[in-house]
C-alpha cells in the first residue's frame, strides 16, 4: 500500500497506512533503511504508484506477500508456524520493549490503537530482571 507519494525525501520518512483498525502514521527511516530505500528507488525508478510492484507493475497483493513470506521463511529456517507477517510485528514489539522503549512509544511505532495490545508483549524476561537488579544496585 506504500506509494511513491508517501515518501518525503527531504526528511527521510514514509507515511504508513495501516489496516485492521491500527493507526496510520509517519515512519522516520534510520540510515540503514534510507540507504536500502535509495538503492531500491534507483532500480524502481520515479514513476508514481506503488513502491513495491509485482512483475506486472501492479501493487503486490497481500496473498502474494504471504506466499513470499512462507517461501523466504522456509529458506531462512524459520519454523512453519512462524512464517507469517504477524510474527514480524510481534518480534518488532518485543525487541523495542527489550531495548527499553516505553510502551506508549512502541504503541505509536507499530500503530496499535489500544495500548493493551502493545502491553501483551511486555513480558519481563530473566535478562530484563537481571538488568533491573543491576540498575537498582547502583541506585542511591
Q: What angle do CA 64, 70, 72 make, to 5 degrees?
A: 100
Instruction: Give the pLDDT of residue 113.
Output: 87
Q: Which residues of the chain have pLDDT under 50?
A: none
Mean pLDDT of the chain: 87
Contact predicate 2/51, CB 8 Å: yes
Residues 6+ apart with CB under 8 A from 30: none
Contact predicate 39/23, CB 8 Å: no
- Work out the number of other CB atoms within 10 angstroms of the CB of residue 106: 22
Whole-prediction pTM: 0.69
List, for residues 72-113, the tens digit of each pLDDT value.
999 999 999 999 988 888 888 888 888 888 888 998 888 888
Amino acid at each position: 500500500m506504500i506509494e511513491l507519494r508517501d515518501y518525503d525525501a527531504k526528511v527521510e520518512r514514509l507515511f504508513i497506512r495501516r489496516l485492521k483498525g491500527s493507526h496510520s502514521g509517519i515512519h522516520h527511516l534510520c540510515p540503514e533503511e534510507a540507504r536500502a530505500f535509495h538503492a531500491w528507488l534507483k532500480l524502481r525508478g520515479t514513476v508514481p504508484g506503488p513502491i513495491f510492484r509485482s512483475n506486472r507493475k501492479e501493487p503486490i497483493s497481500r496473498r502474494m506477500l504471504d506466499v513470499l513470506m512462507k517461501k523466504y521463511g522456509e529458506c531462512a529456517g524459520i519454523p512453519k508456524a512462524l512464517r507469517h507477517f504477524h510474527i514480524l510485528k510481534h518480534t518488532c514489539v518485543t525487541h523495542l520493549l527489550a531495548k527499553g522503549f516505553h510502551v506508549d512509544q512502541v504503541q505509536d511505532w507499530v500503530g496499535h490503537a489500544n495500548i493493551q495490545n502493545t502491553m501483551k508483549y511486555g513480558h519481563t524476561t530473566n535478562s530484563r530482571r537481571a538488568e533491573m537488579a543491576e540498575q537498582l544496585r547502583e541506585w542511591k
